[in-house]
Amino acid sequence: MVLAWGAYAQREPLLSAAGSFFIKVDTLEPTEIIVVLAGDGSGQRIMKAVGLVRQGLAPKIFVSGPRGHYDHHESELAIEFAVKQGAPAEIFDAFPMDVHSTREEAQVVDAELRRRGINKAIVVTSNFHTRRASQIFKQQGGQTTEYLIASAPSPFFEPDNWWQSRAGKKIFLLESLKTLNSWVEQGSSW
């Protein structure tokens, strides 16, 4: 009973720590390209990548994206959004693909970057997706491509208060299940 009361009394720091577990970013340095992962309907990922180009961390943005809403590839929609926000169209390279998971996306992206002779890339994804994306891309790239992970803010997930919104709780639950699935598929080095 004392343990249960103690856990309840410390619930906010414990929940915050649980939300922060999903976030794992790298120290960024100049690379050959920035890769924007699919799965963001708010434009946060693509605009984070635009900011990184403006900081001089890479000259080009490689935008992945599966076919989805109204038969459009997400990469097309993301680039159109960024250009409307003032980003120059020439910094983007659309890479439409038909994949259904981060692991599949990493395989396709890694193969294309190797084909292009790219040795180092920054991967931009949402904050809650960084730990899992980092693990998957670093396993995928191995010796051929070095991946640095950058975090874009999510309008729906803040690690310090995710439990206070329905969207935050849904993201936490879904990312927990996806992380567990990745851990089971590949073994643990988290």
Residue 85 lies in a domain: yes
**38 C-beta neighbours (distance < 10 Å), count:** 23
**9 Cβ partners below 8 Å, 6+ apart?**
none
The total domain count for the chain is 1
> How does pLDDT run across 55-97, given as a tens digit for each residue?
999 999 999 988 877 788 899 999 999 999 999 999 999 999 8
Residue 164 lies in a domain: no
Residue 42 lies in a domain: yes
- Do the Cβ atoms of 168 and 157 come closer than 8 Å? yes
Residue 173 lies in a domain: no
Residue 174 lies in a domain: no
The residues of the chain scoring below 50 in pLDDT are 190
- pLDDT value at residue 11: 76
Domain range for 114:
22-154
Residue 17: both structure tokens together: 């720590």
Residue 13 lies in a domain: no
CATH number of residue 58's parent domain = 3.40.50.620
- pLDDT value at residue 111: 93
- pLDDT value at residue 190: 47
Residue 9 lies in a domain: no
> How does pLDDT run across 92-104, given as a tens digit for each residue?
999 998 898 999 9
Residue 53 lies in a domain: yes
Residue type, 13: P
pTM of the model: 0.90
